[in-house]
Amino acid sequence: MGHRWQGRKGIRLAVTGIAAGVAAATLTALPTVTAGAAVPPGFTDTVAIGGLTAPTVAAFAPDGRVFVGERSGIIKTFDSLADTSATVTADLRPQVHDFWDRGLLGLAVHPQFPAQPYVYVLYTRDALPGGTHPRWGDTCPNPPGATADGCVVTGTLSRLAIGANGVATGAEQVLITDWCQQYPSHSVGTVTFGPDGALYVSSGDGASFNFVDYGQRGNPCADPPGAAGTNLSPPSAKGGALRSQAPRRPDTEPVTLDGSVLRLDPDTGAAMPGNPFAASTNADKRRVIAYGLRNPFRMRSGQERVSSGRVTSAGVAGRRSTASPTPPIRSRRTSAGRVMRALAASPVTRAPT
């Protein structure tokens, strides 16, 4: 189902003790706590960074700096958690579609920062496939209507070079623009580094969360077998939520990145060697290590468990799935309308036939 962001103003630290004298801290974006609100036993609730507008993601650099992305497309840098004065690192608002569940949603810092002075961002791009921004301007008029025919947009993964003062230098380096999205949820998701040095990226299917969507509402993403503007129908339809199955298409049909997890070279955005579809002639298919996903909004790469090399993803419904680099390949059958959890035992995912 759709999940709309609520207004959030700060980032809070939830701290819990796990052993005598030991504590673990997790940085999370939470609503401002009402005075007198109960905190679960064993936890303390402390505002770490305030004065933010709809923060969606935060990332810690090895040198202690904290990068925070706001949904609108503004990226801010704090020298540390004690710093109360932010530096505006970049303002991507002109190209970001800040609407409903769309916006700047993913951010990662290069693990060798600042020697490798790069920050990676993943956002909903306010542009049609092949088009330029801005198209809608942080809104969606009716018609076409947000949940009727949808305001079609795309997604972008970019790399920003950060100067010593915390400000981006030069233009963003666009690594990938893809991820056609017709409806305002199930947009792009997470960008993170794995223990192998690869860049991992997740995304939703961009399909409707109100009805079974197979491309019957105009097919604006031009999914086969019809052209854009042609309503698709079963059993041949491959649009809507079925877009997440694009790696299964014949070589003569286009492969999109919706509803997938990618493993990328952080310098170029190309596929990393060793990916499951490394032998494919299609550059997008080579990037994919998992597909058939509904909305893998958040994931972690297993940095804490380097020996396992696992990737764990979670959709907005809170379900988790895990991909490991070892066979066998498996798939999971799910009821209609639910997320196809297919990161079961291998980085390559196959849906049931």
Count CB neighbours of 263 within 10 A.
Answer: 25
Could you tell me if residue 179 is left (phi over 0), alpha (psi between -120 and 50 degrees) or otherwise beta?
Answer: left
Q: How far apart are CA 69 and CA 48, in angstroms?
A: 15
Return the structure tokens found at 233: 């129908």
Q: Dihedral angle at the C-alpha atoms of 162, 167, 171, 174, nearest 10 degrees?
A: 50
Could you tell me if residue 218 is left (phi over 0), alpha (psi between -120 and 50 degrees) or otherwise beta?
Answer: left
Return the structure tokens found at 211: 């009805």
The stretch 83-112 carries a mean pLDDT of 97
Q: Is the pTM of this model over 0.85?
A: no
Per-residue pLDDT for 294 more than 80? yes
Q: How far apart are CA 165 and CA 169, in angstroms?
A: 10
Q: What is the pLDDT of residue 325?
A: 35
**Is residue 289 within 8 Å of 263, Cβ to Cβ?**
yes
26 — pLDDT class (breaks 50, 70, 90): very low
Per-residue pLDDT for 327 more than 50? no
Domains and their CATH numbers in the chain: 54-323 (2.120.10.30)
The stretch 338-349 carries a mean pLDDT of 31
Count CB neighbours of 180 within 10 A.
Answer: 23
Q: How far apart are CA 246 and CA 270, in angstroms?
A: 18
The sign of the CA dihedral 89, 95, 101, 105 is: negative
Residue-wise pLDDT tens digits, 214-245: 999 999 999 999 999 999 999 999 999 999 99
202 — pLDDT class (breaks 50, 70, 90): very high
Q: How far apart are CA 21 and CA 246, in angstroms?
A: 50
Contacts of 40 (CB under 8 A, 6+ apart): none
39 — pLDDT class (breaks 50, 70, 90): confident
The sign of the CA dihedral 296, 181, 75, 29 is: negative
298 — pLDDT class (breaks 50, 70, 90): very high
Which is more confident, 206 or 323? 206
